[in-house]
Amino acid sequence: MEQRRVPTISDVARLAGVSTGTVSRVLNRRSGVHPETRERVLAVVERLGYVPMAAARELSGHTDKVGVLVSPRVWKYSPYFILLYESLSDSLWNENFKLEEILLNPAGQPMTEAEGYIVLGAHDHDPRLEQIVRQHPSTVLVGVQPGMFWVAPDDPGGAYRATEHLIKLGHREIAHLSAAGQVGRERFEGYRQALEDYQVPYRPELVFDGAFSTLPAYRVVRRAWEQGIRFSGLFAASDEMALGAMAALEDLNLRIPQDVSVVGFDDLPDLGRPLTTVRQEISEIAHTVVRLLKEAISRAPPRGVRVPVQLVVRDTTARKR
Amino acid sequence: MEQRRVPTISDVARLAGVSTGTVSRVLNRRSGVHPETRERVLAVVERLGYVPMAAARELSGHTDKVGVLVSPRVWKYSPYFILLYESLSDSLWNENFKLEEILLNPAGQPMTEAEGYIVLGAHDHDPRLEQIVRQHPSTVLVGVQPGMFWVAPDDPGGAYRATEHLIKLGHREIAHLSAAGQVGRERFEGYRQALEDYQVPYRPELVFDGAFSTLPAYRVVRRAWEQGIRFSGLFAASDEMALGAMAALEDLNLRIPQDVSVVGFDDLPDLGRPLTTVRQEISEIAHTVVRLLKEAISRAPPRGVRVPVQLVVRDTTARKR
DNA sequence: ATAAATTTTGTAAGCGATTACGAAAGTGGT
DNA sequence: ACCACTTTCGTAATCGCTTACAAAATTTAT
């Protein structure tokens, strides 16, 4: 097991025939380096596979850490956040940031200084979270949060298009699986708006609380149906709830999409069934977050961005018969 | 917003009237420091709230990072891992380790060097995981893994006692919610063994696969009952499955514990119901992991430890009527 | 061609810890 | 007292990188 020495900045400097200062300037994209030298240095960097040592950089007053704050509860809410986290990890890496995860657990490690922060699941009103946000202007939240930097999918728009899709397939009794919180509310609004625009009567008894998870969705749907509540289309505000609903319908000997059409939201992978759903381009959300983070670090005025969303029609919706 | 300078090792040295070398020796628990000086230094450290800067330590060739490897899938399997992770975070911190989380995602950040590694959800046969384990002798797995350092709860014992509890309450038709994998198998074995020891006949049709999650547990239990399969006791190999099962029984108009007694496993907090269950002392598991990690780092021969587990009787079990 | 202004590069001083080395202080035996 | 050990502690080099400053090279103006 040979142990080759990891190349340092001086190795690069020596091989490129320049000083360490110059190499550093190239690496940090500072101005005042002759294009030719820059090329030469980058070539050596490439050849050696040189990666600057984070500890040394930090010690000499250069941070590129960004903290990702996430409350433990958010993790278990949905696979969605896990995917987002992974995607964020990649995007940050591409932009030469180093991700540092920070769980908002009670007695955890104290916060290390970072250049910026990203907060997942901003709807949580964790006091620690609020404090961090107050102290650090360069913070980007995922979720709508006026007056700050935030990024959110186009929840109302997606919900609107999901509902519209069902309406255009001829459905008029369209149930909705909703849930508490910001996101749930916005998706509900999209649903409501679509009904209104297409003059389909809104019926409150067709809106259920599925708590963003499978079992509650299953139970509420099954119970409703058993109580005689009928619908030929169902728009669930998350894929997981759609999964629960479909299980319920299946257990009621209903066929999807022949008897009931189902639309989800998120487009999670590995769902085990080609679900018609509203696709969130998670990588684009992550990318946008990082873009805003850079703005935030450079002290630009805060703004929010809605990331577009897209209806993906698959096998769980059909024209009403 | 005043910005006080963070104290450095020289501040401590100056105030304690010693040299930086001595402070460093105290902090790293090296021998050759007079007890009195040690006290004096520690007092100053306390007073200033001094925390050594990780980057500087690392630069001067001292790592105390330990990587916690966890595949994203593990996270969503169960809140159990989230709790374990948090507890691990605390234990490591107490032992002056710095936790560095590493998600085993496809294109993630390359592994930074760490002193040791902890692997959560060892039953996963992730190739990347195996490679890491091979390269790093100082790795502790959570889960049984002969030939290595591992820590696991006493799954068979806990399952045994859970089943025994039901038997002693007079139940003889005891269903079991199991699941695939190492853990599921061990808990099943405990169940089986208890039946055998107490001469309660084992009936395969009373063993269901609940996939360690609520909805599958709900469906399999409900369907079984509707098909006429009867039992007065149920031992679920996880609290989450117990939750699903109880929801099913409730929807079948059965009362717990009057009609069916239910025992879970894990003792998760905030379950919304005082469930009789097998309590895993998660903090003790975490603590044990860190202890073994230190052994591993000092190149001791690998060994495994079973952490004891304890039956907690609450409101979901009662004597058979 | 020369001076001045500008661009590019090198030099070296930190950043905050660790640790090898040797000096100082303490111990004990004679 | 004096010498030989030990124990305890201070000094200073070192880790890899950034950056202020100065020096060198190049361009522009006269």
The tens digit of pLDDT for each residue in B16-60 reads 999 999 999 999 888 889 999 999 999 999 999 998 888 898 888
User: What is the arithmetic mean of pLDDT over B71-85?
Assistant: 72
What is the b/e burial string over A29-64, where b = at least 16 CB atoms within 10 angstroms of the residue's CB? eeeebeeebbebbeebbeeeebebbbbebbbeeebb
Q: Are A142 and A151 in contact (CB under 8 A)?
A: yes
User: What is the arithmetic mean of pLDDT over B284-295?
Assistant: 93
Confidence (pLDDT) at A128: 66
User: What is the arithmetic mean of pLDDT over A142-162?
Assistant: 94
Q: In this predicted model, which residue has the larger pLDDT, A138 or A198?
A: A198
Alpha-carbon gap, residue A64 to A27, rounded angstroms: 13
Asked if B108's CB is within 8 angstroms of A215's CB, the reply is no
Name the closest nucleotide to A8, judged by C1' and CA: D16
Alpha-carbon gap, residue B144 to B149, rounded angstroms: 9
A217: nearest Cα among A255, A192, A243: A243
pTM of the model: 0.84
Residues in CB range of A69: below 8 A, 6 or more apart: A102, A104, A117, A118, A119, A120, A129, A132
- Looking at the complex, report in whole angstroms how far the Cα of residue A219 sits from the nearest Cα belonging to chain B: 9
Residues in CB range of B252: below 8 A, 6 or more apart: B222, B225, B226
Enter the tokens of residue B212. 């360690």
Alpha-carbon gap, residue A54 to A59, rounded angstroms: 9
A62 in B contact zone (CB under 8 Å): no
B174: nearest Cα among B280, B309, B317: B317
User: What is the arithmetic mean of pLDDT over A175-199?
Assistant: 97
For chain B, what percent of residues have pLDDT higher than 90?
63
Confidence (pLDDT) at A268: 94
Asked if B54's CB is within 8 angstroms of A59's CB, the reply is no
Alpha-carbon gap, residue B40 to B17, rounded angstroms: 9
The tens digit of pLDDT for each residue in B229-277 reads 999 999 999 999 999 999 999 999 999 999 999 999 999 998 989 999 9
CB-to-strand C contacts below 7 angstroms: A 17-22, 25, 31-34, 36-37, 59-61; B 6, 8-10, 20-21, 23-25, 27-28, 30, 51-53, 56-57, 59-62
Within 13 A of A248's CA, how many CA atoms are on the CB side? 26
Q: Quick check: helix, strand or coil at residue A313? A: coil
Q: Are B244 and B282 in contact (CB under 8 A)?
A: no
Within 13 A of B214's CA, how many CA atoms are on the CB side? 21
User: What is the arithmetic mean of pLDDT over B134-139?
Assistant: 77
Confidence (pLDDT) at A65: 79
Q: Which helix (H) or strand (E) holds A69?
A: strand A65-70
Decide if pLDDT at A270 tops 70. Answer: yes
Q: How confident is the model at residue B1 (pLDDT cuts 50, 70, 90)?
A: very low
CA B229 remoteness from chain centre: 34
Packing angle, helices A282-297 and A79-94, rounded to 10: 50
Most confident stretch, A10-14, A137-141, B126-130: A10-14
Q: Are B313 and B165 in contact (CB under 8 A)?
A: yes
Q: What is the dihedral of CA A21, A24, A28, A29, to 10 degrees?
A: 60
The tens digit of pLDDT for each residue in A33-48 reads 999 999 999 999 999 9
Confidence (pLDDT) at A3: 53
Q: Which of A73-77, B99-103, B278-282 has the lowest mean pLDDT?
A: A73-77
Packing angle, helices B239-251 and A214-226, rounded to 10: 10
3-state SS record for B257-319:
CCCCEEEEEECCCCCCCCCCEEEECHHHHHHHHHHHHHHHHCCCCCCEEEECEEEECCCCCCC
- Looking at the complex, report in whole angstroms how far the Cα of residue B200 sits from the nearest Cα belonging to chain A: 33
Confidence (pLDDT) at B5: 78
Confidence (pLDDT) at A74: 61
Confidence (pLDDT) at A296: 85
Strand order in the sheet with A261-266: A207-209, A174-178, A233-236, A261-266, A276-280, A309-312
- Looking at the complex, report in whole angstroms how far the Cα of residue B232 sits from the nearest Cα belonging to chain A: 23
B283 in A contact zone (CB under 8 Å): no
Alpha-carbon gap, residue A277 to B92, rounded angstroms: 42
Distances (CA, A) of B247 to B105, B145, B302, B318: 35, 35, 43, 18
User: What is the arithmetic mean of pLDDT over A132-155?
Assistant: 87
Q: Which of A109-118, A140-149, A199-208, B182-191 has the lowest mean pLDDT?
A: A109-118
Decide if pLDDT at B121 tops 80. Answer: no
Q: Give the angle B1-B3-B8 at the CA atoms, nearest 5°.
A: 160
User: What is the arithmetic mean of pLDDT over A2-19?
Assistant: 86
User: What is the arithmetic mean of pLDDT over B122-140?
Assistant: 70
State whether the Cα torsion B252-B253-B259-B265 is positive or negative. Answer: positive
Decide if pLDDT at B284 tops 80. Answer: yes
Residue of A nearest to B101 (CA): A101
Alpha-carbon gap, residue B249 to B287, rounded angstroms: 38
Asked if A72's CB is within 8 angstroms of B75's CB, the reply is no
Distances (CA, A) of B314 to B272, B278, B280: 13, 11, 15
Q: How confident is the model at residue B77 (pLDDT cuts 50, 70, 90)?
A: low
Output helix, strand, coil percentages for chain A, rounded to the nearest 5: 45, 20, 40
Average pLDDT across chain B, whole number: 89
Confidence (pLDDT) at B4: 65
Per the DSSP assignment, residues forming a β-bridge with A121 are none
Chain B positions in Cβ-Cβ contact with residue A99 (cut-off 8 Å): 109
Query: Residue B114 has what DSSP assignment?
Result: -
How many Å from the CA of A19 to C1' of C4?
Answer: 28
- Looking at the complex, report in whole angstroms how far the Cα of residue A82 sits from the nearest Cα belonging to chain B: 7
Q: How confident is the model at residue A114 (pLDDT cuts 50, 70, 90)?
A: confident
Asked if B103's CB is within 8 angstroms of A89's CB, the reply is yes
Q: How confident is the model at residue B170 (pLDDT cuts 50, 70, 90)?
A: very high
Residues in CB range of B222: below 8 A, 6 or more apart: A251, B248, B251, B252
Q: Which of A84-88, A168-172, B75-79, B176-180 has the lowest mean pLDDT?
A: B75-79
**Residue closest to sugar C1' of D14 by CA:** B60
Q: Quick check: helix, strand or coil at residue A266? A: strand
Asked if A101's CB is within 8 angstroms of B89's CB, the reply is no
Enter the tokens of residue B248. 């099913």
Enter the tokens of residue A199. 């003059």
User: What is the arithmetic mean of pLDDT over A115-144?
Assistant: 76
Q: In this predicted model, which residue has the larger pLDDT, B34 or B138?
A: B34
